[in-house]
Amino acid sequence: MCGIVGYIGTQQAAPLIVSGLKRLEYRGYDSAGVCIISDSGARIEKKAGRVADLEKYVDISSMTGTVGVGHTRWATHGVPNDVNAHPHTDQSGSIALVHNGIIENYLTIKKKLLNAGYTFRSETDSEVLAVFIGMLYETLQDMELAVRTALSEVEGTFGLVVLSTHEPDMIIAARRGSPLILGIGNGEYLVASDAAAVISHTRQVVYLNENEMAILRRDGFSTKTIENVDTRSVVEEISFELEQIEKGGFEHFMLKEIFEQPTTFHDGFRGRLQIDAGTVKLGGLASVADKLRAAKRIIITACGTSWHAGLVGEYLIEHLARVPVEVEYASEFRYRNPIIHSDDIVIAISQSGETADTLAAIREAKLKGATVIGMVNVVGSTIARETDAGVYLHAGPEIGVASTKAFTSQLCVLTQFALYLGRMRSLSSEQGREVALGLANIPAQIRSILDRSEEIRSIALEYANVSNFLYLGRGYNFPAALEGALKLKEISYIHAEGYPAAEMKHGPIALIDAELPVVFIAPKDEIYDKILSNIEEVRARSGKVIVIADEDDTHIHTVANHVIRVPRTLPMLAPILASIPLQLLAYYIAVERGCNVDMPRNLAKSVTVE
Ligand code: F6R
């Protein structure tokens, strides 16, 4: 959510910042701006729209100087326009700031500043902070002190970078609730909201901690808390390769990421799955193994797609380990004073590892004494660092705003977690082996579905102009139906609902007419006959039926308008295979409708605000 790139070094900063911003655009893309500090002062250029629009508006190479900062915005306060775009400046125009997060008490601060005669151009909370820092500088005459003093009065969240013509050879960065990393180059330093922006310059990074500030100068950097206590920074290596954040010949990141799933799924169990012993080795959980063995209840908390994965996790864990599981939206959990016991295990699932609600939920759970486990994709992210133990997804960077490969990797990790817990309890090695073998077969099965993507595309083309979609599944496939509907609505803007198939008759059946496509997920499991009845109910009302069915189902084509066949697997693994055609269906429909699938309107990857 909002991309930040700052640079201080020997190279021209502007082109370097703009190329970094392009790599961060998936974090927010409603406006972009750059500030370069040089001997002639602070030059700021900003524009509503994408980074490419900014480039059309200004010749970036004409912005000369070796210190600067850039920003791509996802609007919180104020519509996306040129004025509300970042960077923002103080009243004198000599201090520039970019900000990710929300200043909750900005109205109180703004009122004080207005009373003191300061004026504002934008509707943003961020400009208030810039003006506030400027006011403090007037008396303190020290940029670092002015920023620190301002931040001590601020309530809310920030990942911010401040530059100034008063002290032009310095960048100040600070974080609370919004990630920032420092890139340590050779005689040059970067600061960014995401490793993707720095990897083409350096692999050496420092992850700023909560409430930490960094002062970057031409000859080095230091870190300290916002309260001015020096901190020790640990330089780490970025864990992915540059080509992983490039499109690699695909039209969209989303399509690339869908097609990566045979590999990413395999990476999720490589070195973990022990097929012969029917178990799994999860090194990241060793320190909490005793707590897991004694756990009376598991609470899974997450948002969006990760929450859907959590619902599958509930079924998996209760099935394989017989431990009761509750799944909670993190945004609800954090505020409802949840009842948590010290022998509860809370699992936070997050692709980005930065989702503000999920982060707040784990803090609440920790405060109340639970053991908190992270299932996170982004290495070094805040959730990964704040949880007691964890299992990485190893899906590699996910750039497409709609989550695809992270979802299947979450299911991969959740299945292994359930297996691990089950084998600690009553699951036999024979039962464990069956699950492990099923998992090991998934990458090849995903590949075989991807090989039939053209079939799915031709179905998609028939339905690209409808206004509504219904997705139905039962048991393990109910969350897959929810996820299928979410994928479609977020990238194609078609209204779509997911439901447990049997719930259809309690309301959604009223929607069914000859215009409504209904997607069923109907593998041949023990509730297959029940779902056939639900299909008949839709047919009886002239609804269009699209079914994801087993490849050896010889009956299903007689009751469906379209059948998308997937290989047979264990019922508990069926949502993994079902999600591949659902992702492709959504993708091809959205492309046909001319939507920007990688950057859908109003969305952003990594939701670091409440
Ligand atoms: C949907 C999507 C979102 C995220 C949600 C949680 O495609 O990407 O619903 O799943 O914002 O994000 P993470 O997993 O990063 O915590």
Q: Is 486 helix (H, G, I), strand (E, B) or coil?
A: helix
Q: Domain of residue 457: give its range.
A: 452-596
Q: Whose C-alpha lies nearest to ligand 1, atom 4?
A: 304
Which residue from 436, 495, 421, 435 is spatially nearest to 463, judged by alpha carbons? 495
3-class DSSP state of 187 = coil
606 inside domain: no
What's the rounded mean pLDDT across residues 64-91?
93
**377 Cβ closer than 6 Å to some ligand 1 atom:** no
Is residue 547 in a domain?
yes
Task: Give a three-class secondary structure readout of 231-273.
Answer: CCCCCEECCCCHHHHCCCCCCCHHHHHHHCHHHHHHHHHCCCE
Q: Is residue 610 part of a domain?
A: no
Residues 423 and 458 in one domain: no
Residue whose C-alpha is closest to residue 351's, from 386, 369, 377? 377
Residues 223/229/230/236 CA torsion (nearest 10 deg)? -50
Helices (H), 141-240: 143-153
Mutate to test the pocket of ligand 1, among 305, 329, 352, 490 (most ligand atoms within 8 A of CB): 305
| CATH (domain of 198) | 3.60.20.10
Residue with the smallest CA separation from ligand 1 atom 10 is: 305
pTM: 0.90
Q: Are 46 and 70 within 8 A, CB to CB?
A: no
CA separation for the pair 30, 18 (Å, rounded) = 15
State whether 121 and 189 are in the same domain: yes
pLDDT of residue 478: 97
Q: Are strands 297-302 and 325-329 parallel, antiparallel or unpaired?
A: parallel
Average pLDDT over residues 194-213: 94
- Domain check: are 147 and 82 in the same one? yes
Question: Residue 135: pLDDT above 90?
Answer: yes
Cβ proximity of 489 and 517 under 8 Å: no
Q: Based on the structure, what is the number of domains in the chain?
A: 3
Q: Which stretches of 267-424 are assigned E, i.e. beta strand? A: 273-274, 279-280, 297-302, 325-329, 344-350, 371-376, 389-392
- Distance of alpha carbon 376 from alpha carbon 393, whole angstroms: 6
Q: How far is the CA of 381 from the centre of ligand 1 (A)?
A: 14
| CA separation for the pair 13, 65 (Å, rounded) | 6
Pair (427, 472) in one structural domain: no
Does 607 reside within a domain?
no
Give me ligand 1 centre to Cα 201, in Å. Answer: 28
Establish whether residue 66 lines the binding site of ligand 1, counting it when its CB lies within 6 angstroms of any ligand atom: no
Tell me the β-bridge partners of 67.
8, 37
Position in ligand 1 atom list of the atom nearest CA 305: 10
> In the prediction, which pLDDT does 28 show?
72
pLDDT digit string (tens) for 165-176? 999 999 999 999
Q: How confident is the model at residue 110 (pLDDT cuts 50, 70, 90)?
A: very high
> CA separation (Å) from 135 to 92, 154, 161, 334?
9, 14, 17, 36
Is residue 122 located within the same domain as residue 232? yes
Q: Is 301 in the pocket of ligand 1 (CB under 6 A)?
A: no
- Per cent of the chain over pLDDT 90 is 91
Residue 471 structure tokens: 């997705």
CB of 157 shorter than 6 A to ligand 1: no
- Phi, psi of 515, deg, nearest 5: -90, -15
| Listed range (1-10, 62-71, 553-562) with the worst mean pLDDT | 1-10
59 domain-assigned: yes
Q: Is residue 262 part of a domain?
A: yes
* 218-269 tens-digit pLDDT: 999 999 999 999 999 999 999 888 888 889 899 999 999 999 999 999 999 9
- Identify whether residues 407 and 293 lie together within a single domain: yes
Q: Are residues 308 and 191 in the same domain?
A: no
* pLDDT for residue 77 is more than 80: yes
Quickly list DSSP for 1-28.
Answer: --EEEEEESSS-HHHHHHHHHHHHGGG-
Minimum CA distance residue for ligand 1 atom 5? 304
191 and 182 Cβ atoms separated by less than 8 Å:
yes
Count of CB atoms situated within 10 Å of the CB of 263: 16
Residue 9 sits in the same domain as residue 50: yes
Ligand 1 close to Cβ of residue 402 (< 6 A): yes
Residue 564 counted as domain residue? yes
Whole-number Å distance between alpha carbons of 545 and 321: 36
Domain CATH for 519? 3.40.50.10490
d(C-alpha 97, C-alpha 580), whole Å: 42
Q: Give the whole-angstrom CA distance, residue 138 versus residue 329.
A: 45
284 and 381: one domain?
yes
Q: Is 413 in the pocket of ligand 1 (CB under 6 A)?
A: no
Give residue 305 CA to ligand 1 midpoint distance, Å: 5
State both tokens at 538: 């839709």
Task: Tell me which residue of 144, 245, 154, 231 sits closest to 192, measured CA to CA.
Answer: 245
Same-domain pairing of 79 and 218: yes
Q: Contact, 1 vs 608, CB < 8 A?
A: yes
The residues, any chain, with a CB within 8 Å of residue 459's CB and separated by 6 or more, are 546, 562, 564, 585
Question: Which protein residue's CA is at the shortest distance from atom 7 of ligand 1?
Answer: 402
Q: Which of these three, 419, 449, 479, is where a domain ends?
A: 449
Average per-residue pLDDT in the chain? 95
352 lines ligand 1 (CB under 6 A): yes
pLDDT of residue 1: 66
Catalytic residues: 2, 605
For residues 6 and 73, membership in a common domain is answered with yes
Query: Is 367 inside any structural domain?
Result: yes
Q: Which of 400, 420, 449 is the last residue of a domain?
A: 449
Which residues contact residue 110 at a Cβ distance below 8 angstroms, ignoring those fewer than 6 apart?
120, 128
**pLDDT value of residue 603:** 84
Instruction: Specify the pLDDT at position 610.
Output: 76
Parallel, antiparallel or unpaired: strands 212-217 and 170-176 = antiparallel
Say how far apart CA 225 and CA 229 lie, in whole Å: 5
Please say which residue of 449, 474, 504 terminates a domain: 449
Structure-token match 């009373």, residue found = 115
Do residue 462 and residue 422 come from a single domain? no
Best of 398, 607, 610 to mutate for ligand 1, by most ligand atoms within 8 A of CB? 607
* Cβ 404 under 6 angstroms from ligand 1: no
